[in-house]
Structure 1
């Protein structure tokens, strides 16, 4: 098979994670090529709410809590720079967000979880616990059957599709190459770097970054790495444009700047099936109407399913190959929130040629081997 392209860095996976790494490499002046399977891929961005979400993350990993909080704090500067460079409005806002609870028991558990995470984290992120009367002062449209919510001012929202477009556009503007409809069929170390088999031919990489979402599970072992990910289906509904009423983010409902409301919070083990199912959509609608009764009269204009990329504990996996030191794998669920990290600190590590233990050891897939043992 003939060689069709080569680059110092090849990033496999044209979703938000891979595009962020590509953008960061191009911004640093590196020669980078982004391979994108195209719209046949199970793009997680299709099911992404666009939450820049802090609260509750890192319940089992203080390192993940800190990583998330730092990335969220970097989002304003990151968005400003990317918007200025590409002219793409990311719709980034950081008014804070509410996690809505439907029972006093749920609210108490949520408050305890938040307090536990806050105690173990080293990066500050304040939160409040609000009963229903206090919540209604801030969200006047909240339903009577809501018990309360936690509120975190560190949370924000962005448009994930605008973000993806801007990252790819920014990569190209900075001299990076983008090859759509080019799936990675196989990988092998060749003494000079990594050879990547595609439909068009071989792509040669000095260093390769696997950011192919669920595809990482098959690709990573070919270079001596591990990507223990699984698909988790979520089903989402979106309404027609209605009057502005929700100026904050929430855990499962948000109103876009255009006026439509997105809602959904289901998590299903459905394999690679990204279809919608009536029972889940009905329950999703019921909870949305319970939270905000005014949605009862809003017409749903679209519903769809999407597959999240999840590790066993929900914490990212970052790994460098021992057998092929120029190969790295990134398996991440929170691509939007962590975008500043992926185009910043990750890129610095790639250029240095090593994932230093101080930052990345908590995110090694070796943690799963320890748990199994």
Structure 2
């Protein structure tokens, strides 16, 4: 089987890139893992989030803003094509604070980032009274919040399903249950799987998340990514109690409250722990006391994919030209950018975004 692009990794990142390439008339084959693979796309928090990103690298803040700005049209196009409502709501989001000192410290950092972005960083600070007018169920322990107007959230599983469906509709091939064992190149790339499947392509994108740890060095990448566990809780479906999402909890489009997430350096362990879930529940009830009466129906642990500095990695291999590493921990936020803008970078058109700061040279 031969195509313009082989995408190794069929999560939100890989499928977003595949969708964007197919929209440009290119042929694409996606190689997705099996049910034993670590799948961040099925365990994330679903935020389309700008605030707090790029505090030390304004280009990341701008890249997140560009993606957030493209999300509404992107979600609408996917919904029209597949009949799946992605559940996008972009009416702002909160960073809740339990102390005035921490709130003011964060505001000072936001002001510095806003200056670096030329003033394009639309947020406001809500004191306790203003916040409770917006969110009557906020608890008395919350002294205030930063409301960033570019933030929002979506249904990540519907996004994943919609992308997988439309990639196939657009003529893409998605092969599941494939464990890639080798990638080499002569005139074309040859990707070999453990079951004997071989794919040939003009270009190759490695977007396999933690799979890049094994495959990256074979393709000439450093791929310095690591796992970080995030545990999450879900309540029963509830009447509307939240108007906007926060970094502590969000009310999903189906009515349940998603609470999360932990940040744990535990290697490739994606199990849930009583201690981790207890911490999440305690903080959520502190922020929203009404949740003390909610029944919990589900919990899970999933592994984020993190680079040493937390930023995405976009890199063409110095050893295998036309092989690209695309990895990040904000696959939902950046999905629109990966679909709309990254194909220009992969195809090296005049409209290609400048992603040099996200290359692996920064780890030298």
TM-score (norm 1): 0.94
Q: 1:20 aligns with which of 7, 16, 28?
A: 16
2:81 is equivalent to residue 85 of structure 1: yes
Report the counterpart of residue 178 of structure 2 in structure 1.
182
Partner of 1:360: 355
Q: Partners of 1:107 and 1:352 in 2: how far apart?
A: 42
Q: How does 1:124-273 map to 2 (within 5 A)?
A: 124-189=120-185, 191-201=186-196, 202-273=198-269
CA drift of 1:226 comes to 2.1
Secondary structure of 1:113's partner?
Answer: helix
Structure 1 partner of 2:276: 280
Structure 1 counterpart of 2:29 = 33
RMSD of aligned Cα (Å): 1.5
Q: How does 1:310-329 map to 2 (within 5 A)?
A: 310-329=306-325
Deviations 1:205-229 (A, max 9, x none): 2110000001112212111122111
Is the alpha carbon distance of 1:353 and 1:153 closer, same or farther for their aligned partners in structure 2, counting shifts above 3 Å?
closer
Looking at structure 2, the residues matched to 309 and 218 of structure 1 have their Cα atoms a distance apart, in angstroms, of 14
Pick from 77, 91, 102 the counterpart of residue 106 of structure 1. 102
The CA deviation at 1:89 is 0.8
Residues 239, 43 of structure 1: alpha-carbon distance in 2 compared, 3 angstrom cutoff: same
Q: Offset of 1:170 from its aligned partner? A: 0.9
CA distance in 1, matches of 2:249, 2:63: 25
- For residues 352 and 146 of structure 1, the distance between their equivalents in structure 2, rounded to whole angstroms, comes to 48
How far apart are the structure 2 equivalents of 1:354 and 1:232?
36
Asked whether the 8 Å contact 2:213–2:225 carries over to 1, the reply is: yes
Does the CA-based 8 Å contact 1:14-1:38 persist in structure 2?
no
Deviation string 1:73-95 (CA, Å, 9 cap, x unpaired) is 11111111111111111001111
Q: What is the aligned partner in structure 2 of residue 332 from structure 1? A: 328
Conserved in 2, the CA contact under 8 Å of 1:326 and 1:353?
no
CA distance in structure 1 between the aligned counterparts of 2:44 and 2:200, rounded to whole angstroms = 32
Instruction: Write out per-residue CA displacement over residues 30-75 of structure 1, whole angstroms, 9 at most, x where no aligned residue.
Output: 1100100032211112221111001111011111010000110111
Post-superposition offset of 1:247: 1.7
Q: Per the alignment, in what secondary structure is the counterpart of residue 340 of structure 1?
A: helix
* Contact 1:224–1:321 under 8 Å retained in 2: yes
Task: Label 1:185 to 1:355 Cα distance change in 2 as closer, same or farther (>3 A).
Answer: farther
Following TM superposition, by how much is the alpha carbon of 1:321 offset from its aligned partner in structure 2, in angstroms?
A: 1.2
1:343 corresponds to 2:339: yes
C-alpha distance in 2 between matches for 1:88 and 1:125? 31
Q: Distance in 1 between matches of 2:48 and 2:34?
A: 25
> Following the alignment from structure 1 to structure 2, what is the Cα–Cα distance between the partners of residues 36 and 350?
20
Count of matched residue pairs: 363
